[in-house]
A and B are shown apart, each in its own frame.
Chain A
Amino acid sequence: MPKVIGEAKKSFMTGNETAAWACLAAGADMMFGYPITPQNEIMHYWTRLAPRYGRGFLQTEDELSAGFTVCGAVQSGKKAFTATAGPGNVLMQEPFGMAEAMRLPLLAIIQQRGGPSSGTVVYSQQEVTLTTFGGNGEGMRIVYSTATHQEIYDYIIKGFNTAWQYRFPVFILGDGYQAKMREPLEIYDPEDRGIEMLKPYPLIGLEGEIGQSREPQHLCNIYSLEEELYEVVMKMAAEYESLQDSLVEYDEKNCDDADIIILSHGVVSRAAEDAMKILRTQGIKAGYFRPITLRPYPQQQLRNAIAKSGAKIILCAESAYGQLDRLTKQEIYGETIKMENLFMPGVGIIDYDIVDKVKSVI
């Protein structure tokens, strides 16, 4: 395969453009998608770039179809992905559930928009619950919440490998701000950074003569007996849990002596880090903790941060009405630290929103 990027280079582009380049550099074979704002430009860039590198694209009739065509493509042994947002993410929970059940290594980029319902086309962090635990399953997924364009690029490359290594569906959880704004980043070929991209392999459509050199493959996601399903789910849960330590990622700053830990994820964590710095200059001992993986959640790392800091308060700041807050509370059950919140559903959060809130609660 010819190199996509060549020499690593500084670029100045939107998050959606970044996502398309990252999928290309990661060796994605196919994209299936359906238009919805704010993810459209991922398709726009992909449709322009893909034919030059022998990659495929299909605009499907809806998000159900986009999700299920990705499932089919992955089963046939291709690195395939989709991108969606909001109500499209709701529809895609059905195929994502199939991917979870059948351990299909698909990758989906979610650019969160306002909700509920059609909400806004602009921005939110309101698809956390849906992306982490959507569908009629147990949330056996891997969800990376990115904060910068560099991370969109890095985690898409990493995400394809995570998906194909562990065969759990992987989500890159961005948002409308990250999708649409431009900022600098460095794009590169994974190989040049010593990242070996895993090769996809087929689950059906295998080589060989059936009955002679191999048995036919029968893939299914439905079972006749409760006990059969129970065994499948318990085995999957055990495997997922055993991987947690190697999958969790987080970022932590100034938690050693913090009186208050500002908890946030995604693009809001940029405001949180700035707020922490401002508060420190004003003599307030603020710390910063950011889960990068929302599934699995770095709960032990957050517990450690609470313990070592002796902080009495966590301030959870999010552009949603308590989705990160609820997730965190279930993950750190048993901790007695007080949790305050700054919930701003569907709108952006800047450093002084957080600074003011911190001052009002300490």
Chain B
Amino acid sequence: MSAIAPAMPKSWYVPSKPHKFCPGCGHGIVLKALGEAIDELGIQDQAIFGCDIGCSLLSWDFFAVDSTQTHHGRTTPVMVGIKRSRPELICIGYMGDGGGYSIGSQHLLNSAVRNEKVTLILVNNTNYGMTGGQMAPTTLPGQKTETSPYGRDPETTGYPTMGPEFIAALTSDSAYIARGTVSKYKQLKKYIRSALQNQISGNGFSFVEVLSTCPTNWRTNAQQTWNFLEDEMEKQFPVGELKNPLGKGEK
């Protein structure tokens, strides 16, 4: 039986493969979609990939594109600084829900308001994975985490942050805003590609939240993992495009 080599995007950095994400983690799917989108748009040599601290950190040498790793929550301003200095570069910030919605929320909010021409991809797995499964801004009501061991109580800790919705409310019509999920790969890739195209076209701020899986910290098996993603998470976080200045013609 001959081995079938997995189709690897050209923009992936082969020496860092296999990657270091946990089995069942959704990051690999998001990064594959991003890699294919980079390939299709032919931007490998102009792209700057910036990653946050958290599980997203493990992507610091994931791509064969110029990359920089920042601090927790600070990927957005680093990407903004690069884009403002070198507008010809395509700046892609990659972060988790803690980095984007909690410690770095001021950067996300204000870069959206200023319509910064960067593309931010935020992976939502409803918890802080790297630090051991604490409650995140996106943790679902009733969901158990290390810092909400009896389940998240909205009375004391609020409801999950609805990122794309609040960013859509802050941005002009030239922003691209979407929420995808690793359970719908083709759609996710289309969203990421559109978010990059929107930056390439010089329109404005581009943001994709991606619903993703964390079986290690959720303590779920494969079936339970997928059920949590498709049933629980997608009920709380509606998947779809919230703003698309590119129109329906973009495929």
Min Cβ gap A114→B in Å is 26
- Quick one: given A216-B13, A216-B63, A216-B67, are A209 and B45 in contact (CB under 8 Å)? yes
The interface residues of chain B lying within 8 Å CB-to-CB of A221 are 69-71
- Quick one: given A204-B67, A218-B60, A219-B69, are A62 and B81 in contact (CB under 8 Å)? no
Q: Which one of B83-91, B153-161, B169-177 is at the A interface?
A: B83-91
A274 at the interface (CB under 8 A from B): no
Q: Which one of B23-31, B72-80, B141-149 is at the A interface?
A: B72-80
The interface residues of chain A lying within 8 Å CB-to-CB of B84 are 30, 56, 58, 69, 73
Residue in chain B with minimal CB distance to A204: B66
Over the window 19-53 of chain A, the binary record of Cβ atoms lying under 8 Å from chain B Cβ atoms (1 yes, 0 no) is 00000000001101000000000000000000000
Residue in chain B with minimal CB distance to A205: B89
Min Cβ gap A207→B in Å is 9
- Quick one: given A68-B71, A72-B85, are A60 and B110 in contact (CB under 8 Å)? yes
Q: Which one of A76-84, A252-260, A333-341 is at the B interface?
A: A76-84
* Contact between chains at B65 and A220 (CB < 8 Å): no
A210 at the interface (CB under 8 A from B): yes
The interface residues of chain A lying within 8 Å CB-to-CB of B13 are 216, 218
B55 at the interface (CB under 8 A from A): no
* Contact between chains at A60 and B66 (CB < 8 Å): no
* Contact between chains at B45 and A220 (CB < 8 Å): no
* Contact between chains at B107 and A65 (CB < 8 Å): yes
The interface residues of chain A lying within 8 Å CB-to-CB of B46 are 205
Min Cβ gap A362→B in Å is 50
The interface residues of chain A lying within 8 Å CB-to-CB of B85 are 29-30, 56, 72-73, 76-78, 80
* Contact between chains at B107 and A210 (CB < 8 Å): no
- Quick one: given A65-B110, A216-B64, are A77 and B86 in contact (CB under 8 Å)? yes
* Contact between chains at A208 and B45 (CB < 8 Å): yes
Residue in chain A with minimal CB distance to B110: A61
**Set A71, A209, A210, A216: member contacting B81, Cβ < 8 A:** A71
**Set B57, B63, B66, B80: member contacting A72, Cβ < 8 A:** B80
* Contact between chains at B77 and A75 (CB < 8 Å): no
A314 at the interface (CB under 8 A from B): no
Q: How many A-B residue pairs have CB under 8 A?
A: 130
Of A65, A78, A203, A211, most B-chain CB atoms within 10 Å = A65
Min Cβ gap A155→B in Å is 24
* Contact between chains at A76 and B89 (CB < 8 Å): yes
Min Cβ gap A262→B in Å is 42
Interface size bracket, B side: 35 or more
Residue in chain A with minimal CB distance to B78: A72
* Contact between chains at B81 and A206 (CB < 8 Å): no
B48 at the interface (CB under 8 A from A): yes
- Quick one: given A94-B71, A205-B89, A216-B13, are A73 and B81 in contact (CB under 8 Å)? yes
The interface residues of chain A lying within 8 Å CB-to-CB of B60 are 218, 220, 222
B44 at the interface (CB under 8 A from A): yes
CA distance A216 to B69 in the complex (A): 14
B106 at the interface (CB under 8 A from A): yes
* Contact between chains at B64 and A210 (CB < 8 Å): yes
B216 at the interface (CB under 8 A from A): no
* Contact between chains at B66 and A73 (CB < 8 Å): no
Min Cβ gap B20→A in Å is 9
The interface residues of chain A lying within 8 Å CB-to-CB of B48 are 76, 204-205
The interface residues of chain A lying within 8 Å CB-to-CB of B63 are 216
Min Cβ gap B50→A in Å is 8
CA distance A90 to B84 in the complex (A): 25
A242 at the interface (CB under 8 A from B): no
* Contact between chains at A219 and B74 (CB < 8 Å): no
Residue in chain A with minimal CB distance to B13: A216
* Contact between chains at B67 and A75 (CB < 8 Å): no
Of A29, A67, A72, A216, most B-chain CB atoms within 10 Å = A72
B68 at the interface (CB under 8 A from A): yes
**Set B53, B74, B76, B89: member contacting A95, Cβ < 8 A:** B74
A358 at the interface (CB under 8 A from B): no
* Contact between chains at A78 and B86 (CB < 8 Å): yes
The interface residues of chain A lying within 8 Å CB-to-CB of B109 are 61
Residue in chain A with minimal CB distance to B63: A216
- Quick one: given A95-B74, A216-B13, are A73 and B67 in contact (CB under 8 Å)? no
**Set B10, B53, B57, B70: member contacting A68, Cβ < 8 A:** B70
List 17 additional contacts besides A69-B78, A71-B70, A76-B81; criterion CB under 8 Å: A30-B85, A32-B81, A56-B85, A58-B80, A64-B106, A65-B80, A71-B78, A73-B82, A76-B82, A77-B86, A203-B68, A204-B82, A209-B45, A210-B64, A216-B67, A218-B61, A222-B69
20 contacts between A and B (CB under 8 A): A30-B84, A56-B84, A60-B80, A65-B106, A68-B71, A68-B78, A69-B81, A71-B81, A72-B81, A72-B83, A73-B81, A76-B85, A204-B82, A210-B65, A211-B10, A211-B64, A216-B64, A218-B67, A220-B61, A222-B69
Pick the 9 closest A-B CB pairs, nearest first: A72-B81, A69-B81, A61-B110, A68-B77, A204-B66, A72-B78, A65-B77, A72-B82, A73-B85
